[in-house]
Each structure stands twice: as C-alpha cells, then as structure tokens.
Structure 1
Amino acid sequence: MSNIDYLRRKYPTKSLLKKKETAAELNCSIATLDRLRKVNAISSKKVGGGIYFTLEEIASFLDS
C-alpha cells in the first residue's frame, strides 16, 4: 500500500492535517517539522491562524 493510500484510509474525512498530526505521521517532533518547513523540505498551508499539511504533501515527503 502506498503512503497516500495509507493516509487516505487513516484520515477518510480529512484532506489537511495539523502540525501535531503531521509530526506523528512523520515520526518527528513539532520542532523538527518546523525546521523542515523552514528549509522548504515540506510544504504547508496557513488556514486561519494554523499551519496545515495536505495528505499528498505528507505522502510525497515520505516517498522521497
């Protein structure tokens, strides 16, 4: 099963994950996730006051 299929099955009603959820999927800390964002290793979106990651972006990062 590919990473995107896994994420879509795990989060069937979501297309965006919060930083905490994304860090858990990447098995890293929120601080490490922030560093990855800063160096553009993973893309994020700002919605309201929060930072979110698409399932596709998370899967793409895991595949690389």
Structure 2
Amino acid sequence: MTTLDNLHHRYKKSLLSKKETARELNISQATLDRLRKSGAIKSKKVGGGIFFTINEIVLFLES
C-alpha cells in the first residue's frame, strides 16, 4: 500500500487539518507553519482554517 493509499484509507477525506498534518509528518504545528510560509508545502484556506491535501503531504514526504 502506498503512502497516498494509506493516508486515504486512514482519514477517508482529502483535506487534513494542521494538527492532523503535523502528526502525520511527525513535526510541530509551528514547524508546519514555517514550512507552509516558506512554500515547502502548499496549503488551502477553507472557512478561516488552514488545510493540506493528502496529495500535497505525499509530495512533501517524497521530496
């Protein structure tokens, strides 16, 4: 099972919150914010919240 399939199976959704993403990457939310602001990982704003697509998380992990 690929990382992408694994994440889709575990979460059954395509967007993860900052907390979920930080947990998957094993980093703090502050580090995730720095990565996001530097452009290392792309995010989406939805209803005032910051979210990350599973595809973007996999791209980051593979880079």
What band does the TM-score fall into relative to the shorter chain? Answer: over 0.9
One-letter amino acid matched to 1:50: G
> Equivalent residue for 1:2?
2
> Equivalent residue for 1:48?
47
Q: Identity of aligned pairs, percent?
A: 67
Contact 1:3 1:63 (8 Å CA) reproduced: no
1:18 Cα deviation (Å)?
A: 0.3
1:11 Cα deviation (Å)?
A: 1.1
> Equivalent residue for 1:21?
20
TM-superposition CA deviations, 1:6-49 (whole Å, max 9, x none): 1011112x110000000000000000000000110000000011
SS for the counterpart of 1:52 is strand
> Equivalent residue for 2:30?
31
One-letter amino acid matched to 1:41: A
Q: What are the ranges of 5 or more consecutive residues in structure 2 without an aligned counterpart? A: none
- Counterpart CA distance in 1 for 2:60 and 2:36 is 11
Aligned residue pair count: 63
Q: TM-score, normalised by structure 2?
A: 0.95
The structure carrying a bigger helix percent of its residues is 2
